[in-house]
Amino acid sequence: MTQDHQPSPSETPLALIGSHRLIPLLTIEDARLAVPLASTLVEAGLPVMEVALSTKAATHAMRDILREVPEAILAAGNVMTAFDLALAREMGVHFAISPGHSDALLKAAADNPETPFVPGIATPAELIRVLSAGFHVVKFFPAMAFGGPEAVRAMMAPFPHARFIPSGGTNEERLDDWLALPNVVAVGGAWLAPPDEIAKKDWAAIGKRARDMLARVKH
Q: Catalytic: which of 11, 29, 43, 50?
A: 50
- Let me know: does 45 contact 214? Beta carbons within 8 Å: yes
Q: Where in 64-162 does DSSP place strands (E)?
A: 73-77, 95-97, 117-118, 120-121, 137-140
Q: Convert 124-142 to b/e letters by CB count within 10 Å (16 or more is b).
A: eebbebbbebbbbbbbbbe
The residue among 135, 156, 141, 159 whose CA lies nearest residue 25 is 141
Q: Catalytic: which of 114, 139, 173, 201?
A: 139
Residue 43 is a catalytic residue: no
Residue 50 is a catalytic residue: yes
- Let me know: does 97 contact 73? Beta carbons within 8 Å: no
Catalytic residue positions, numbered: 50, 139
